[in-house]
A and B are shown apart, each in its own frame.
Chain A
């Protein structure tokens, strides 16, 4: 309504403006008619031009405002005014054109006349307004009508507002009535409940349940909205366009990484390429100097690399020859001259390394001018190379020194081994001396055996003489020949058969008259006895040899054991070696051997005891004590073959031998006793080796 009231006000303003223009136009027309007669002047023309512009401007304003006013207004009065105004506008536009033509047609007038005409125009306008011409009356009417309309519209608005308020109040009343009725219905529908309970429900229910249900419903709606949005999101994610965009983005990132990598490579290559360009820009002299410096640097670098390689190879060789378990054994096996040669080689290597140090020093001298000429980067790198070379050489020197110490230790070990070998030689010499003593003992035994042979030959001669006598008396030759070969296989049988032979000899003496038979028989008997004698001799020699060998072997075993124990004990300390060297006397090792070989000695003692007991038993059967002395001597010889004491028993044994031969020659019956003594000696000899073998 306010807007509506505003519009008519604007329209009234426009109408007044249009009325003013209309009046001015009318006045101008009147003036034109009056002034046709007087002529205008040229200097007055600027005054006339200005009012023309103002008029055109005003007419434009009115034309712009009229259509808006027409649209807004709906009353027939407004429509009439609208139709009237454009006509007046057209007339006003036409009138100035005609006026201009009039002025241009007139040749001109005095300025005083124009000023007078201008003064005259103003009172005319005032007079026409006060007179109340016909065009003025409709403007006045329009204004009044508009004001009336505004007032009426305002009144209607107030009335409608009051109606709206009334309707609102009615609605509220109706809503309250509805809620009351609902409550009554609920109460009526619950007849089972008590009145008090119903009242309490009526009081509480609407607020609590209503609020809670409302909130729950909101929650439900919100949840549904969330589900729908989640669904849309998932659809968008699974959409083809989305996945295609994602794939393109990933591919673009990958390609960008590759491009970036290539660009960095180009940048790095360009930076390397820029250096020579910078060098080119410098003067010719500088270029030459740089070239020479670069050449020298490259050469020095090559030399350094070669030296490094050679040093590495040397280190590898040295490390390969470093002291390890197998190599220590190798060095142990090596002789002194080899070790000395190795030391010389290592010293030569050290000298070579020192010479390489001097070579390393040379590039240091050449570097200062290169450093001055070359860039800082190049300057730094060679310094690092020099330091590296020095460090390497120092490491090599340290390694070589360590090898020296290791080799020296090896030399000491070799010396110790040499000493051990010398000791072994001394031991072997001792063994040789013992063997020689053994040989002397053998010679003595041979002499004893020769004496026995002489005695036996003498006995044979006697027997031959007796046989000749018997042959002359006895003729039965074939019987004797048949009987004699039977006892030949064993000496015991021969000894046993001697008495029956003698008895038989007595019997055939009166029977056999032939001498030839007797001679044949005697020859056969002699041959058989000789063969038996030889066999006995061989057996005795073999037994003695076996005994000697056994004794020597046992001694050797004990000595080897001693050497082994000495070797073990002598390795960590060097002190035990000295007493071995200082004590070549054989007595000293003998107690050691006895101590180490105690079980062997015990066994020997047992054997000696058993032999002695047997001998004693035999001596009791035999009457003579000389037999016992001979047996004891033989036993002593066998028991103490390795000792020096063995030399004395054979002499003692030789002495009693001629004494028993004397009584034999004196009486024939003591001859049998002599035979029994020989049998005892023979029996003892073979028993010893049988006992010795298990030992």
Chain B
């Protein structure tokens, strides 16, 4: 009895002393102890969630994923293995992986884990927790996007359909408001459109893109930044369907939105380049002025930049030169290429496809003008580079060899005008093929 009383008294005394102590030092020490000892996992979880949001807002996706993984672990500590909060944490992590391109498998894996946890954890009564349903919509939407990235379009469409149906039910039940539903519907429609685009069903994709654009304009405004990617994708679909005028208008609309937001030089140049590229792709004569205007604007933005901007500038310049050749302005294209050759060697290196292509084009131009020695030099240089890059048996290398072979026979043929004209015709025929290749290349780079 005495021992128990003593222990009780000692505990009471400790409590009293702790309550009475008001010294600053003791307060500071207590604070440190509290932060180390008494901060429960829930507070840490809250802090991690805030950190993850701030990182994702500042586009530091790797660190955001790191914090989201910690959130999953802490959620497991707080709520156990069979709680819907853990499933929600997994969905958030899956979304983080989707932001980092190339990690779709991980996103899918976590989405599946979340679905399993949710299936095991949901018990009656079902109708008490609206957050569970909202999170379920996010789950299906994220799964759909992950499958879309993995090129599994059918399954993606199924998941997106589930998400859409669930959101409609919640709207009808009054669990969510109209504005919230519009926001969710905009994202689902955009994902649907991307699925159909992947399946090459352009008409369905077009309708869904239009719906998504409409919803985003309703919720965010017609001049918001969120409209830009939708406008561009919509314009891409219109290009595929042959609606070039509408497509260019949508690209211009996106470009104007970007300009109104005071972007950086690189952003403005990219936007102008996209418009110019669309105008060139349409192949119509009335769009040539638009193309030239926006090529000039794009190059003007990047003219004084260095590093990545310099390489981008040179790429756009090459594309512009191809455009000039197509439109019959070969002299102008040739002069621009000559001026840019040294810059390309500095930017891309001596042995690079861009330098080889430039030498080949310049050689063709010299040949057309009758400068055989210059043409021979340039084609030889081009042959050297292509041999190193593509190997001696590549078709491009062989084509250049043939051209040089024809050139070597030129002195004999010069005496006979007919054969000379045949040689010119051969070179002219070779140029269109290269231009076609040139068309394909920027397309791939754009993609």
Contact = CB atoms under 8 A, between A and B. Distances in A.
Interface hub of B10, B21, B373 (most chain A Cβ within 10 A): B10
Interface stretch (A380-388, A525-533, A592-600): A380-388
Nearest to B67: A250
B308 interface: no
B320 to A, nearest CB: 27
Interface in B201-222: none
B73 interface: yes
Contacts of A213: 384
B22 interface: yes
Interface in A260-303: 261, 264-265, 268, 272, 275-276, 279-280, 287-288, 290-291, 294-295, 297-298, 301-302
Secondary structure of the B contact surface, majority rule: helix
A272 B349 contact: no
A305 interface: yes
Given A250-B69, A298-B12, A384-B23, A240 B7 contact: no
Contact of A240 (B2, B41, B105, B350): B105
Nearest to B105: A240
A294 B69 contact: no
Interface string A341-372: 00000000000000000000000000000000
Contact of A298 (B16, B23, B349): B16
A302 B9 contact: no
Contact of B5 (A250, A272, A291): A291
B14 interface: yes
A298 B373 contact: no
Contacts of A240: 105-106, 109
B103 interface: yes
Given A250-B69, A381-B21, A298 B36 contact: no
Given A250-B66, A250-B73, A304 B20 contact: yes
Interface hub of B13, B349, B373 (most chain A Cβ within 10 A): B13
B106 A243 contact: yes
Contacts of A219: 349-351
A276 B10 contact: yes
A140 interface: no
Task: Sort chain A's interface into a size bin.
Answer: 35 or more
Given A294-B6, A388-B22, A251 B41 contact: no
Contacts of B74: 254
Interface string A218-246: 01100100000000001000101001001
Given A216-B351, A287-B2, A294 B373 contact: no
Given A251-B69, A254-B74, A301 B20 contact: yes
A410 B76 CA distance: 69
A298 B73 contact: no
Interface string B346-390: 000111000000000000000000000100000000001000110
A280 to B, nearest CB: 6
Contacts of A276: 3, 6-7, 10
Contact of A254 (B14, B70, B105): B70
A388 to B, nearest CB: 7
Contacts of A265: 37
26 contacts: A213-B384, A217-B388, A219-B349, A219-B351, A220-B350, A220-B389, A238-B102, A243-B97, A243-B103, A250-B66, A254-B77, A255-B73, A258-B41, A261-B39, A264-B36, A264-B37, A280-B3, A287-B3, A287-B6, A288-B2, A302-B16, A305-B19, A378-B17, A381-B21, A384-B21, A385-B20
Contacts of A483: none
A223 B351 CA distance: 10
Nearest to B39: A261
A86 B2 CA distance: 100
A49 interface: no
B114 to A, nearest CB: 14
A298 B13 CA distance: 6
B56 to A, nearest CB: 17
Interface string B49-62: 00000000000000
A687 B103 CA distance: 113
Q: Rank and list the top 6 A-B pairs by shortest CB-CB distance, nearest first.
A: A254-B73, A251-B73, A220-B351, A250-B69, A276-B7, A294-B9
A279 B109 CA distance: 58
Contacts of A192: 373
Contact of B14 (A216, A217, A272): A272
B9 A291 contact: yes
Interface in A55-83: none
A250 B70 contact: yes
Contacts of A402: none
Nearest to A215: B350
B3 A301 contact: no
A258 B77 contact: yes
A247 interface: yes
A67 to B, nearest CB: 55
Given A301-B20, A305-B20, A261 B106 contact: no
A238 B389 CA distance: 28
A279 B6 contact: yes
B73 A261 contact: no
Given A261-B37, A279-B6, A294-B10, 6 more contacts: A220-B388, A247-B69, A254-B74, A305-B20, A381-B17, A388-B22
Nearest to A223: B349
B338 to A, nearest CB: 22
Contacts of A291: 2, 5-6, 9
Contacts of A261: 36-37, 39
B195 interface: no
B72 interface: yes
A302 B17 CA distance: 10
Contacts of B105: 240
A658 to B, nearest CB: 102
A295 B9 contact: yes
Interface in A195-220: 213, 216-217, 219-220
Interface hub of B9, B102, B109 (most chain A Cβ within 10 A): B9
Nearest to A247: B69
Nearest to A304: B20
B37 A268 contact: yes
A243 B13 CA distance: 52
A253 B432 CA distance: 61
Nearest to B45: A254
Contacts of A280: 3, 6
A481 B76 CA distance: 128
A272 B13 CA distance: 12
Interface hub of B17, B23, B102 (most chain A Cβ within 10 A): B17
Contacts of B22: 388
A289 to B, nearest CB: 11
Contacts of A254: 70, 73-74, 77
Interface string A299-322: 001101100000000000000000
A255 B77 contact: yes
Contacts of A304: 20
Given A243-B106, A247-B69, A388-B22, A301 B36 contact: no
B73 A279 contact: no
A192 B37 CA distance: 90
Given A220-B388, A254-B74, A297 B349 contact: no
A378 to B, nearest CB: 7
A192 B106 CA distance: 66
B407 to A, nearest CB: 12
Nearest to A254: B73
Contacts of A272: 11, 14
A245 to B, nearest CB: 12
Contacts of B11: 272
Contacts of A305: 16, 19-20
Contacts of A381: 17, 20-21
Interface in A385-412: 385, 388
A279 B388 contact: no
A264 B35 CA distance: 12
A149 to B, nearest CB: 52
Contacts of B16: 298, 301-302, 305
